[in-house]
Structure 1
Amino acid sequence: MAGSGASDDEVAFEVEHCIRIFKSGRVERFFGSDPVPASTDSATGVASKDRSISPDVSVRIYLPPAAKGAGDNNDASEKKKLPVLVYFHGGGFCLHTAFNFVFHGYLTSLATRAGAIVVSVDYRLAPEHPVPAAYEDAWQALVWVASHAPPGSGDEPWLADYGDFSRLSLAGESSGANIAHHMAMRAEGGLPGGVRIRGIALVHPYFLGDGKVPSEDNDPAMAANVVAMWRMVCPGTTGVDDPRINPLADGAPALDAMACDRVLVCVAEKDVVCDRGRAYGGRAQGQRVGRGGGGPRGGRERTLLPSR
């Protein structure tokens, strides 16, 4: 028994102030796990609700007051149709939840300012559920959302009544941006009802790669941590040129297979992965759109927003 207790206190992996994993399998997360309930926001009028899609996957849906712009008519055909944004939270694949106060406040604001229905996906976290669990959960959620497009069979009234699935987009930050990229690549094979993704927004995406880039000098310790974290969350990885963490690696699928025409990449100038995001944005712009194109002059429309 004494040996078991000692083992439970022995640390196997740690990123300071973020996560600590013990050899016993116990995990301590230092932030991002405290949920706030779904509600109607008094300041913006945005309503939110939670839906369980499967035992492993749930979502929080945000409906802005713009959805009621057509009045109080209960006829779904008279209700205002809004863009649909599927959002994947960040946290290095091992931190946060879709229900914590940071993402709840941010997505409440985004829903009202964008006038869009936002579906925030709560996916399983590593190390308990290593990558690719997050990708599989995200795909399940995306297919569920798309199933509400006419003449779909989805049973969520906020999506069925108010969603305009010709304006479906994906977004995420950090590992959530990584997930959004992979969902856009996977969707090239099709979504229910022929739904297409109009665009993706990647905010300081969690991409790595072999060979040092200048932005890693912003914080060498953090640069080492993000590499170590990737190896922890994806124990089956081949390394930093694994196409799951480096979409520009040799052998990674070409970005022209991405099932969208618009890509927004936002990078933070002091972030250690800043230059990886810049390189991704440049590649996305340089490759032509895939099937069903429509970008400017046959190319994908890419916008890169650096921080000021």
Structure 2
Amino acid sequence: MESEIVSEFLPFVRIYKDGTIKRLIGNDIIPTSLDPSNDVVSKDVVYSPEHNLSVRLFLPHKAAAAADGEKKLPLLIYIHGGAWIIESPFSPIYHNYVAAVAKSANCLAVSVQYRRAPEHPVPAAYEDVWSAIQWTFSHANGSGGPEDWINKHADFGRVFLAGDSAGGNISHHLAMKAGEEKKLGIKIKGIGVVHPAFWGTDPVDEFDVQDKETRSGIAEVWEKVASPNSVNGTDDPLFNVNGSGSDFTGLGCEKVLVAVAGKDVFARQALAYAAKLEKSQWGGTVEVVEEKDEGHVFHLQKPDSDKALKFLNKLVDFISG
């Protein structure tokens, strides 16, 4: 007999009375491959035995076949989205996208698995990604880390952090953490903040989402699933990045690419974030790229569309330029 449903938060998750949690989307997995037919090879490496978490590495085949000592590659650390609840680096949508970025930008990519809500609510995801960043930087001297691909191929003078939706949110916060903890030597060249999941109790401006049902729906997912321990609900500084108390001056990178989709509920928050960065005393450069007639993570949903390929080229230029 099937257990009684206690709650469901569509389209993400259903929670049953016996404690079972069923994710409704984002469950498919694609295997790694050392077959160079698509010009990129991939493999999974455990970075956190404690939590059984891995990173999925992507390496252009030409670099994999090259002799040691040849030119090092930019390093991209990618953080997947999914409302802190669904998806993983092993999902087809993220495997294929990060592979495409690695190929087009000729970079080594590290796609991070992290613990997800509701079993592991915020801040578990932030803690895990920070652990993965530290693990990645343990290879910075070219021989100290456990993974040969990173030791041999990563240029730690060109490290980029990027993510979409929840991953865009996490990218910002961990770039802030890198700036605060300079003694750790985690130097990030730039961050790509793509359709970031930034929110707050009140609209950020008159053009932000005003519909009460939409706003309460987003708040419900955050407060009841992703981060039920937040004292201030959607005004938690992890979610309300543009709040009055936020200070971006310590952001630990040189440049930021902010990607905005005009039909995305988070669009005005992303634009406010870029504007606040530009007005801050941070000192880096901000670039905004906006597709006014597209929705949230359209580039993942329609990766072969002209606008998705246009954005891919922008992200590639950000990394390789």
TM-score tier after normalising by the smaller chain length: 0.7 to 0.9
CA deviation vs aligned residue, 1:103-158 (integer Å, no higher than 9, x gap): 01101101011111110000000000010100110000000111111166211111
Instruction: Please give the secondary structure, in 2, of the residue aligned with 1:168.
Output: strand
Q: CA deviation at 1:188?
A: 1.4
TM-score between both structures, scaled by the size of structure 2: 0.83
- Taking a change above 3 Å as real, the CA distance of residues 40 and 151 of structure 1, as seen in their structure-2 partners, is closer
Distance 2:77 2:66 in 1: 26
Aligned residue in 2 for 1:226: 218
TM-score between both structures, scaled by the size of structure 1: 0.87
- Taking a change above 3 Å as real, the CA distance of residues 287 and 152 of structure 1, as seen in their structure-2 partners, is farther
Aligned residue in 2 for 1:296: none
* Match among 37, 54, 57 for residue 58 of structure 1: 54
Alpha carbons 2:142, 2:151 under 8 Å: kept: no
Partner AA of 1:209 in structure 2: G
203-212 or 182-191, which moves further after superposition?
Answer: 182-191
- Taking a change above 3 Å as real, the CA distance of residues 225 and 167 of structure 1, as seen in their structure-2 partners, is same
Q: CA deviation at 1:24?
A: 3.0
- Taking a change above 3 Å as real, the CA distance of residues 152 and 259 of structure 1, as seen in their structure-2 partners, is farther
Distance 1:220 1:23 in 2: 29
Distance 1:233 1:275 in 2: 22
Distance 2:183 2:146 in 1: 14
CA deviation vs aligned residue, 1:71-129 (integer Å, no higher than 9, x gap): 743xx32x220000100000000011110111011011010111111100000000000
Q: CA deviation at 1:30?
A: 1.3
RMSD between aligned residues:
2.0
* Match among 189, 194, 202 for residue 198 of structure 1: 189
Alpha carbons 1:47, 1:64 under 8 Å: kept: yes
CA deviation vs aligned residue, 1:247-266 (integer Å, no higher than 9, x gap): 221333x1111101101111
Partner AA of 2:19 in structure 1: G
Distance 1:181 1:112 in 2: 25
Correspondence 1:117 to 2:108: yes
Asked which structure has the greater CA Rg, the reply is: 1
Correspondence 1:107 to 2:103: no
Q: CA deviation at 1:28?
A: 1.3
Q: CA deviation at 1:215?
A: 3.7
Instruction: Please give the secondary structure, in 1, of the residue aligned with 2:158.
Output: strand
Aligned residues: 286
Instruction: Please give the secondary structure, in 1, of the residue aligned with 2:235.
Output: coil
Distance 1:139 1:85 in 2: 14
Q: CA deviation at 1:226?
A: 2.0
Correspondence 1:9 to 2:4: yes
Partner AA of 1:276 in structure 2: Q
Instruction: Please give the secondary structure, in 2, of the residue aligned with 1:182.
Output: helix
- Taking a change above 3 Å as real, the CA distance of residues 64 and 200 of structure 1, as seen in their structure-2 partners, is same
* Match among 289, 294, 303 for residue 305 of structure 1: 289
- Taking a change above 3 Å as real, the CA distance of residues 18 and 193 of structure 1, as seen in their structure-2 partners, is closer
- Taking a change above 3 Å as real, the CA distance of residues 36 and 138 of structure 1, as seen in their structure-2 partners, is same
Percent sequence identity is 38
Alignment of 1:165-184 (within 5 A): 165-184=156-175
Aligned residue in 1 for 2:251: 258
Q: CA deviation at 1:195?
A: 3.6
Correspondence 1:249 to 2:243: yes
Alignment of 1:138-217 (within 5 A): 138-150=129-141, 153-190=144-181, 194-212=185-203, 213=205, 214-217=207-210
